[in-house]
Amino acid sequence: EYINILCKTILQAIKNVGGQTESEQSGDQVNQTDPDDENNLELSGSINNTTTNVAGDDADDDDAIRLSNVPVMLGLCEVICVLWTFNEEQLNKASNADLKKVLMKRFTYALPEMFKAFSDSRIIAVLLQIAGYLPPKWIPTVSRSWLPKLRKMTSANTVSDYGPLVECLCKTGQVESVLELVTEWIQPALDVTPLQKTGRGRPDSGRVKFVETHVPEPGLGLALLSHMLTQTLTQGILLQHVTRNLAIRDLLANSVVKLTEMLEGKADEKSDSNIILEAFNIYCKLLLLLHAQDKRTLSCLSEYGKLLSWADKHVVPVLGLKQEDEQSKQAQLAHNIVQNVLTIVSNMFLIGVGAELGLTVIDFCTLCLANDPDLGLLSVVLLSLYQVVELSRYQGDAMWITPQTLSSALARVFLNIAGYVKHHPKDSMKVLSSVKEHMSELLKTVYSRVSLDETVAHEVMSTILAAVFAEMDHSSKQNDLEEEATLATLPPISAWLLDILARKLHLLQEFTQELKAICDTGIVTDMYKTDAILHLVLAVAHERKIDSAGLRGILDHIDRQMPRLLAEMSEEETEDIKSLIGVVKEKLKKCESALGLASS
Print the domain residue range for 546: 450-600
Of 405, 296, 320, 303, which is closest to residue 358 (Cα–Cα)?
405
The distance in angstroms from the start CA to the end CA of the chain is 92
The answer to the question of residue 250 being in a domain is: no
**pLDDT at residue 1 tops 90:** no
pLDDT class for 575, splitting at 50, 70, 90? confident
Q: Which of 37-51, 464-478, 519-533 has the highest mean pLDDT?
A: 464-478
- 93-115 per-position pLDDT tens digit: 888 888 888 888 888 888 888 88
**pLDDT at residue 295 tops 90:** no
Of 348, 242, 365, which is closest to residue 303 (Cα–Cα)?
348
Polymer length in residues for the chain: 600
pLDDT, mean of residues 148-163: 91
Global pTM reads: 0.79
Q: How far apart are CA 487 and CA 556, in angstroms?
A: 22
Handedness of CA 554, 559, 562, 567 (dihedral sign): negative
Q: Residue 195: which region, alpha, beta or left (left: phi > 0; alpha: psi -120 to 50)?
A: beta
Q: What is the pLDDT at residue 213?
A: 52
The answer to the question of residue 511 being in a domain is: yes
The C-alpha angle with vertex 351 and arms to 349 and 353, in degrees rounded to 5, equals 55
All residues at 6 or more sequence positions from 379 whose CB lies less than 8 Å from its CB, including other chains: 434, 435, 438
pLDDT, mean of residues 316-337: 83
The answer to the question of residue 459 being in a domain is: yes
pLDDT class for 453, splitting at 50, 70, 90? low
Q: Which of 173-187, 263-277, 313-327 has the highest mean pLDDT?
A: 173-187
Check residues 537 and 41 and name the one with the higher pLDDT.
537
Q: How far apart are CA 23 and CA 43, in angstroms?
A: 13
Residue 197 phi, psi dihedral angles, 5° rounding? -135, 155
**pLDDT at residue 405 tops 90:** no
- Beta-bridge mates of residue 197: 203
pLDDT, mean of residues 211-222: 78
Average pLDDT score, the chain:
83
The answer to the question of residue 183 being in a domain is: no
Q: What is the pLDDT at residue 484?
A: 85
Q: How far apart are CA 388 and CA 409, in angstroms?
A: 12
Residue 384 phi, psi dihedral angles, 5° rounding? -65, -45
Q: How far apart are CA 409 and CA 418, in angstroms?
A: 14
**pLDDT at residue 204 tops 70:** no
**pLDDT at residue 559 tops 90:** no
Residue 71 phi, psi dihedral angles, 5° rounding? -60, -40
- 27-70 per-position pLDDT tens digit: 333 333 343 343 443 333 333 443 334 434 444 455 567 888 88
Q: How far apart are CA 384 and CA 369, in angstroms?
A: 12
pLDDT class for 572, splitting at 50, 70, 90? confident
Q: By the 8 A CB rule, do 169 and 177 touch?
A: yes
The answer to the question of residue 428 being in a domain is: no
Q: How far apart are CA 37 and CA 352, in angstroms?
A: 56
The residue type of 562 is: M
- Beta-bridge mates of residue 202: 198
Q: What is the pLDDT at residue 214?
A: 64
Question: Which one of 144, 159, 182 terminates a domain?
Answer: 144
Q: Residue 207: which region, alpha, beta or left (left: phi > 0; alpha: psi -120 to 50)?
A: beta
Q: By the 8 A CB rule, do 151 and 165 touch?
A: no
pLDDT class for 3, splitting at 50, 70, 90? confident
Question: Which one of 117, 144, 171 terminates a domain?
Answer: 144
The answer to the question of residue 25 being in a domain is: yes
Q: By the 8 A CB rule, do 137 and 149 touch?
A: no
Least confidently predicted of 134-148, 296-310, 327-341, 345-359: 134-148
Q: What is the pLDDT at residue 598?
A: 63
Q: How many domains does the chain have?
A: 2
**pLDDT at residue 4 tops 50:** yes
Question: Which one of 93, 126, 144 terminates a domain?
Answer: 144
**pLDDT at residue 25 tops 90:** no
Q: Which of 130-139, 387-396, 511-520 has the highest mean pLDDT?
A: 511-520
pLDDT, mean of residues 397-412: 78
Paired sense of beta strands 197-198 and 202-203, if any: antiparallel
H helices present in 92-200, as ranges: 97-117, 121-131, 140-143, 146-151, 159-171, 175-186
Q: What is the pLDDT at residue 62?
A: 53
Q: How far apart are CA 595 and CA 548, in angstroms?
A: 7
Q: How far apart are CA 76 and CA 70, in angstroms?
A: 10
The proportion of the chain whose per-residue pLDDT surpasses 70, expressed as a percent, equals 85
**pLDDT at residue 21 tops 60:** no
> Which contacts (CB < 8 Å, 24+ apart) does range 312-315 have?
312/364, 312/367, 314/259, 314/260, 314/263, 314/264, 315/259, 315/263, 315/341
The answer to the question of residue 391 being in a domain is: no
Least confidently predicted of 20-34, 99-113, 471-485, 560-574: 20-34
Check residues 26 and 387 and name the one with the higher pLDDT.
387
Q: By the 8 A CB rule, do 447 and 503 touch?
A: no
All residues at 6 or more sequence positions from 228 whose CB lies less than 8 Å from its CB, including other chains: 166, 170, 175, 178, 234, 235, 237, 238
The answer to the question of residue 478 being in a domain is: yes
Q: How far apart are CA 204 and CA 208, in angstroms?
A: 9
Q: By the 8 A CB rule, do 165 and 121 touch?
A: no
Q: How far apart are CA 364 and CA 372, in angstroms?
A: 12
Q: What is the pLDDT at residue 30?
A: 35
**pLDDT at residue 140 tops 80:** yes
Of 220, 248, 239, 20, which is closest to residue 113 (Cα–Cα)?
20
Is residue 197 helix, strand or coil?
Answer: strand
Q: How far apart are CA 349 and CA 363, in angstroms?
A: 16
Q: How far apart are CA 332 and CA 277, in angstroms?
A: 11
Q: How many Å is the Cα radius of gyration of the chain?
A: 35
Q: What is the pLDDT at residue 402?
A: 74
Q: What is the pLDDT at residue 501?
A: 93
Q: What is the pLDDT at residue 32?
A: 37
All residues at 6 or more sequence positions from 59 whose CB lies less than 8 Å from its CB, including other chains: none
Q: By the 8 A CB rule, do 170 and 238 touch?
A: yes
Tell me the CA distances in angstroms from 318 to 71, 205, 322, 344, 535, one per residue in order: 55, 47, 9, 21, 41
CB neighbours of residue 111 within 10 Å: 24
Q: What is the pLDDT at residue 269?
A: 78
pLDDT, mean of residues 405-416: 93
**pLDDT at residue 366 tops 90:** yes
